[in-house]
Structure 1
Amino acid sequence: MYNSKPHQEHNLEALHRHMLDTRLAMLVSHGEQGLLATHLPVLVATDEGEFGTVYAHLARANRQWQDLQLGTEALLVFPGADAYVSPGFYPSKADNPKVVPTWNYTAVHAYGPVEVIHEAAPLLNIVSRLTERHEQGRDQPWQVADAPADYLEGMLRAIVGIRLPIARLQGARKLSQNRSAQDIAGVREGLASSPDYLDNQLAAQMRHL
């Protein structure tokens, strides 16, 4: 991804934290069937490999896995909060009107080859771990074992798993770091006062610049 130097994030712990906080990622690949993308929930094993390993599953009817099985490199996009930045947020505009709107955002891109998983046992493990993650905090968490065994077997046959050992990571934290401290404060205050919760999320992240 294009990412100018002031906005690059290289801290592995921060990159992993962003990935772990992302509920739905986008898997992008290019192969014999052209350019394909799938939105999917993922598991991030931060302790597997140099940069971590990602697990997920696709519908078997989704032909993207056929290209992935050929060993093509894939990209996982982990989006974060984003916000429109108005020139009106900059106090410096009063002295220098040469300003234009921009967009602040955070994102992580993970690249690597993909191993496609067909076996029932590792597929069940992926599905169970994803379920446990998203059922956390419920009064009565649903478990995969709650489904009838024969029904579950059929569901597992309808999906394929993927394992992506991350070969490289790119992180972007575009939070107005290229502006003066006064303008950064203006953007932070402008986003914090917005009724939009994504604007508020980005403002909270800007407090740690």
Structure 2
Amino acid sequence: MYIPKHFDEPRVEVLHELIRSRPLSTLVALTAHGLEANHIPLLLDPRPTPFGTLRGHVARGNPIWKEFNAGVDVIAVFSGPDAYITPSWYPGKKVDGKVVPTWNYAVAHAKGTLHVHDDPVWLRAHLEQLVATNEASFPAPWKVSDAPDDFIMKMVAAVVGIEIPIRSLHGKWKMSQNRTQADRESVANGLRAQGGEEKGDVASLVLPG
């Protein structure tokens, strides 16, 4: 990933927060059949430091997991908030017109070697943790144990676990850092005027505080 210095986000805690808040990854691997991409929610364990470990699962019917048995390098891409930025928001447009559109976004790339877990005990524990994490905000969280045990056993048998110890972690926060303070203020105001949670999130990253 190309990261100009002013867009680099090296803080592990910030990248971990993006992964936790937006856990649906695009998992990319170079297999014997060429590049493969799958969209998989991954649970972050901050251990071992400094980058932690990602865990998830894929359907047993997905042929991609068989490619991983030998252990292959993968990139898990986590996308944060993004928004189109119109040049009409830049004060300079009225001065000399030397402005162009762009796209603001935040993204984290986690690289590592993927390992397969075809063990029902490992999978049951992983699924319980995954569910507990994602159900935590609900007033009456659903639990794996709420479903009949024989049904859960069938569901567990239908998936295969994956684990990625993160070897390197890079972040790119392209949030108008290369623009003037006046431009950033105008961009943030323009995004908030459009409305919506996503635009508001980008505005907060363009103009923190």
What is the TM-score normalised by the length of structure 1? 0.95
**Aligned-pair CA distance for 1:174:** 0.5
Q: How does 1:58-137 map to 2 (within 5 A)?
A: 58-137=58-137
SS at match of 2:194: coil
Letter of the structure 1 residue corresponding to residue 12 of structure 2:
L
Residue segments in structure 1 that go unaligned for 5+ positions in a row: none
The farther-off stretch of 136-145 and 80-89 is: 136-145
**SS of alignment partner, residue 100 of structure 1:** coil
Partner of 1:53: 53
2:146 equivalent in structure 1: 146
Name which of structure 1's ranges 144-153 and 11-20 shifts more when overlaid on structure 2: 144-153
Q: Is the 8 A contact 2:12 2:50 kept in 1?
A: no
Q: What one-letter code is carried by the residue in structure 1 that aligns with 2:43? A: L
Mapped contact 1:33–1:67 kept (Cα < 8 A): no
Cα distance between partner residues in 2 of 1:207 and 1:87? 17
Counterpart position of 1:43: 43
CA contact (8 A) 2:56 2:162 kept: yes
CA contact (8 A) 2:23 2:43 kept: no
Which ranges of structure 2 fall in alignment gaps of 5 or more residues? none
- Distance in 2 of aligned mates of 1:208 and 1:175: 10
Q: 2: distance between equivalents of 1:141 and 1:199?
A: 29
**What is the Cα-based RMSD across aligned positions, in Å?**
1.4
Alpha-carbon distance in structure 1 between the residues aligned to 2:50 and 2:33: 31
Shift of 1:151: 1.6
**2:169 corresponds to which residue?**
169
TM-score, normalised by the number of residues in structure 2: 0.95
Give the partner amino acid of 2:176. Answer: S
CA deviations over 1:65-118 (Å, ceiling 9, x no partner) = 112222110010100110000001111222231111000000101000011000
Identity of aligned residues (%): 36
**Whole-angstrom CA distance in 2 between matches of 1:33 and 1:24:** 24
**How far apart are 1:124 and its partner, in Å?**
0.6
Aligned length: 209
Structure 1 runs of 4+ aligned residues shifted over 3 Å read: none
Deviation at 1:25, TM superposition (A): 1.4
